[in-house]
Structure 1
Amino acid sequence: MPQSVSSLAAAPAGPSLLRRLARRNEIALLLSLLAVIAFFALASDTFLTTRNLTNVLGQAALPLVAGIGVAIVFISGEVDVSIGSLVAAIAIPLITIMNATESFALGVAGALALGLAVGVVNGYLAAYLGINSLIVTLGTLFILRGGVYLYTGQRAIPDDVMLESFFQLGNGRLFGVVPHPAVIAVILLIAFAYFLRHRPFGRQLYAVGGNPEVARLAGYNVRRVKFVAFVISALLATIAGILLASRLGSAVHVAGLGFEFQVVAAVVLGGVSLSGGVGSLAGMALGVLILQFVSNGLGMLNIATEWQLVITGGIIIAAVAFDELKRRRA
């Protein structure tokens, strides 16, 4: 008798688990990614090659790194659209200091200092002064881009010392196959995913994004959580900018143009809610990969850039609409 009771109690576990998995946004995104890969693999003979796949991973690394920070800001209930201009701006102290000192470490320190300063300003204005974060970061976007244009005279600043360590950061490959930026992106993704899932800050972040007032009553420092989210976003965008500068071998004034929209699109496609409190870094990463593989596949099929933009925009709108319908039914 106890055995039959135990069996009856355990019976619903399988279907219940399947239902829970089916409701997870990441499962739908993974299936969508596999469908995209399968479609382009059939449409192009060169799509499913090691060279092309590793190239896509390398291209996806920058939006993936920056997307971690943007997703964290979105989960906190705020917005950060300044990352594109920050990616261009941090290359200036990076390259300038390296040229003057021939030190890769000092160049990176200068870049991180600028990124930290931008994150602190964004976080203070949005979290502590209560200014709308979209307005704050949009203003930062224009200020940084204008500053880049003024300093560079709209000309590239080349890497004159050509340090091998700096070159390998953005152009080297692990075991001669996997691009170093992709390795760095995966390490950061795993680290921050663990951080959000298993550390107190992660719980606070979701609570603050879900309902700031309830989070405040629970004893969470809402302003501090939002402030830290902006700092993390700026520092991760700085890392993406360092990788891009290494790849380009210079500080380019047009670097990062439109990058913020590419990252925000991937984050939203990955299921991170614009209203805060919902989303995961795994979903964000899948969103980045879907858009990168779609862009790469359309390019291989010689689809005009204009149509690539139309198709990508349609995918994003469809994803957001589907997510909204799912939420209403829930």
Structure 2
Amino acid sequence: MPQSPSLSASGSASPGLARILFRRSEIGLVVALLAVILFFALASDTFLTVRNLTNVLGQASLAMIAGVGVAIVFISGEVDVSVGSLVAAVAIPLITVMNATESLALGIAAALALGLCVGIVNGFLAAYLGINSLITTLGTLFILRGGVYLYTGQKAIPDDVMLESFFQLGNGRLFEVVPYPALIAFALLLVFAYVMRHRTFGRKVYAVGGNPEVARLAGYDVKRVKFTCFIISSLLATVSGILLASRLGSAVHVAGLGFEFQVVAAVVLGGVSLSGGVGSLFGAALGVLILSFLSNGLGMLDLATEWQLVITGFIIIAAVGFDEWKRRQP
């Protein structure tokens, strides 16, 4: 017997809404983020201060920017672990060109050119030649890091011209409160989240990552889509590298060490599937924020770095396991 409208509204709509909210990983991540913030706010008197919160946002912004690109590559069904070394590498042309020309624009252009080249190489090898993307980008990671060591002689290349505009890029704050890197990160997040959710390219990325053969039969150029994703990832990692160089005031050979693992961990924690076709950029951003606030809070409790790493690892494994369990539910 069919249900009456009133019965449907009161009986089935509510469970349906709850089911939708439960399945949306972003909701759970928001709750987790708020729980982390609440716990450390109660545990530390200085955690919930404007200065500390904005500092965390500024620190998280670099991983968030790179994480957007890495998440897009993951959703397409590929992997990019070269972002850590790229962050260090792009600072070299940035600082070198700025020192030679006293032009921030030319320095940024040089950094973006290197990032573009790395993205093209990664994308061509993985998408068009079919080389496993993990192996491809792992090789790029070592090549770039080795190149940085060789070029710098394992010494920092200082910013000799000390342009105020360059300093403000990574260290300035809007109204003396909100760090500029955080504003840049959220702006890029909104732009690419819109593209992934509402534009044709985003639908293609999800389709290619979900089932490349079906996407090919639907008329999508699978190789081109994946190629483009690698370029986006490298360019966004370049932006992170530019902001980090601004903060450091130099090109440092050890910059970005372990950065790729931080980004990948946050993206996976945010619900982006390593198998492709599943996840959202907002989820990836929330994953970055959770790990950033967690690291900051544990540091305030004077917990040893070793234990911070152990706890973070357990949380990531638990989050991935829970996500996998949800996917297997009927």
Class of the TM-score when normalised by the shorter of the 2 chains: over 0.9
Is residue 2:300 matched to residue 1:300?
Answer: yes
Q: 2: CA distance between counterparts of 1:184 and 1:324?
A: 32
Q: CA shift at 1:5, angstroms?
A: 4.8
Q: 2: CA distance between counterparts of 1:199 and 1:82?
A: 27
* C-alpha distance 89-279 of structure 1, shift in aligned 2 (>3 A): same
Q: 2: CA distance between counterparts of 1:288 and 1:40?
A: 17
Q: CA shift at 1:14, angstroms?
A: 3.5
Is residue 2:54 matched to residue 1:68?
Answer: no
**What is the percent sequence identity of the aligned residues?**
80
Q: CA shift at 1:124, angstroms?
A: 0.3
Is residue 2:55 matched to residue 1:55?
Answer: yes
Task: Point out the more displaced range, 15-24 or 266-275.
Answer: 15-24
Q: 1: CA distance between counterparts of 2:35 and 2:172?
A: 30
In structure 2, what is the equivalent of residue 94 of structure 1?
94
In structure 2, what is the equivalent of residue 281 of structure 1?
281
In structure 2, what is the equivalent of residue 244 of structure 1?
244
In structure 1, what is the equivalent of residue 256 of structure 2?
256
Q: 2: CA distance between counterparts of 1:152 and 1:6?
A: 72
In structure 1, what is the equivalent of residue 110 of structure 2?
110
Equivalence map 1:11-22=2 (5 Å): 11=10, 12-22=12-22
In structure 1, what is the equivalent of residue 310 of structure 2?
310
Q: 2: CA distance between counterparts of 1:30 and 1:283?
A: 9
Say what the alpha-carbon RMSD is for the aligned residues.
1.0
Is residue 2:305 matched to residue 1:269?
Answer: no
Structure 2: state its 5+ residue gaps.
none
In structure 2, what is the equivalent of residue 134 of structure 1?
134
In structure 1, what is the equivalent of residue 124 of structure 2?
124
Q: 1: CA distance between counterparts of 2:87 and 2:44?
A: 33
Q: 2: CA distance between counterparts of 1:17 and 1:204?
A: 28
Is residue 2:209 matched to residue 1:209?
Answer: yes
In structure 2, what is the equivalent of residue 324 of structure 1?
324
In structure 1, what is the equivalent of residue 181 of structure 2?
181
Q: Deviations over 1:176-235 (max 9, x none)?
A: 100000000000000000011110000000000000000001111000000000000000
- Secondary structure in 1 aligned to 2:297? helix
Q: CA shift at 1:6, angstroms?
A: 4.2
Is residue 2:195 matched to residue 1:195?
Answer: yes
Q: CA shift at 1:8, angstroms?
A: 4.3
Q: 1: CA distance between counterparts of 2:13 and 2:238?
A: 45
In structure 1, what is the equivalent of residue 84 of structure 2?
84
Q: 2: CA distance between counterparts of 1:306 and 1:18?
A: 39
Give the aligned residue type for 2:6.
S
In structure 2, what is the equivalent of residue 233 of structure 1?
233
Task: Point out the more displaced range, 280-289 or 16-25.
Answer: 16-25
Q: CA shift at 1:18, angstroms?
A: 2.3
Q: CA shift at 1:325, angstroms?
A: 1.1
Is residue 2:35 matched to residue 1:35?
Answer: yes
Q: Deviations over 1:20-71 (max 9, x none)?
A: 0121111111111111111101110000000000000000000000000000
Q: 2: CA distance between counterparts of 1:7 and 1:88?
A: 61
Q: 2: CA distance between counterparts of 1:326 and 1:176?
A: 43
Moved over 2 A (4+): 4-15
Q: 1: CA distance between counterparts of 2:4 and 2:317?
A: 48
Aligned pairs, how many?
327
Q: 1: CA distance between counterparts of 2:13 and 2:95?
A: 57
* C-alpha distance 36-203 of structure 1, shift in aligned 2 (>3 A): same
Q: CA shift at 1:7, angstroms?
A: 3.3
Q: CA shift at 1:13, angstroms?
A: 2.8
Q: 1: CA distance between counterparts of 2:264 and 2:26?
A: 17
Q: 2: CA distance between counterparts of 1:17 and 1:189?
A: 27
In structure 2, what is the equivalent of residue 161 of structure 1?
161
In structure 1, what is the equivalent of residue 6 of structure 2?
7
Q: CA shift at 1:9, angstroms?
A: 4.8
Q: 2: CA distance between counterparts of 1:319 and 1:181?
A: 28
Q: Deviations over 1:72-124 (max 9, x none)?
A: 00000000000000000000000000000000000000000000000000000
Q: 1: CA distance between counterparts of 2:8 and 2:251?
A: 63
Give the aligned residue type for 1:173.
R
